[in-house]
Amino acid sequence: MQTRRTAQLLLIAAAGLTLGACSNFPSRQTQVWVWDDMKKQDKYKPQMSSAFFSDGRASRGPVEGALAQEHYRADEPYFTGVAADGNYVARNPEPLTKEVLLRGQNKFNVYCSPCHDRTGSGRGIVPAKATWIPGNMHDDRVVNFVDGEIFHVITMGRRSMPGYRFQIQEKDRWAIVAYVRALQRAGHGSMADVPVELQAKVR
Ligand code: HEC
User: Helix, strand, or coil here: 81?
Assistant: coil
Residues at CB less than 6 angstroms from ligand 1? 111-112, 114-116, 126, 132-135, 137, 142, 150, 153-154, 158-162, 164, 176, 180
Residue 24 is predicted with a pLDDT of 61
Q: How far apart are CA 192 and CA 203, in angstroms?
A: 14
User: Helix, strand, or coil here: 92?
Assistant: coil
Mean pLDDT of the chain: 89
19 vs 61, more confident:
61
Q: What is the mean pLDDT of residues 129-136?
A: 88
Specify the range with the lowest mean pLDDT, choosing from 14-18, 46-50, 74-78, 198-202: 14-18
pTM: 0.73
Please report the DSSP string for 126-169 in residue order. HHHHSS--PPPTTSHHHHTS-HHHHHHHHHH-BTTBPP-TTTS-
CA of 105 to the centre of ligand 1 (A): 16
Give the length of the chain.
Answer: 203
Nearest to 136 by CA among 155, 112, 152: 112
Q: Tens digit of pLDDT for each residue in 10-26?
A: 888 777 656 555 556 67
Q: How far apart are CA 60 and CA 55, in angstroms?
A: 10
Q: Quick one: residue 190, left, alpha or beta (phi over 0 = left, psi -120 to 50 = alpha)?
A: beta
Q: How far apart are CA 82 and CA 76, in angstroms?
A: 7
Q: How far apart are CA 164 and CA 162, in angstroms?
A: 7
∠ CA 187-125-160, nearest 5°, is 80
Specify the range with the lowest mean pLDDT, choosing from 6-20, 64-78, 102-116, 130-144: 6-20
CA of 189 to the centre of ligand 1 (A): 22
Q: Is the pLDDT of residue 118 over 90?
A: yes
CA of 161 to the centre of ligand 1 (A): 5
Residue 191 is predicted with a pLDDT of 85
Q: Tens digit of pLDDT for each residue in 147-203?
A: 999 999 999 999 999 999 999 999 999 999 999 999 999 988 888 888 888 888 886
Nearest CA to ligand 1 atom 12: 134
Pocket test for ligand 1, best of 158, 159, 166, 168 (most atoms within 8 A of CB): 158
CA of 36 to the centre of ligand 1 (A): 59
CA of 163 to the centre of ligand 1 (A): 9
Domains of the chain (ranges; CATH) run 74-189 (1.10.760.10)
User: Closest ligand 1 atom to the C-alpha of 108?
Assistant: 37
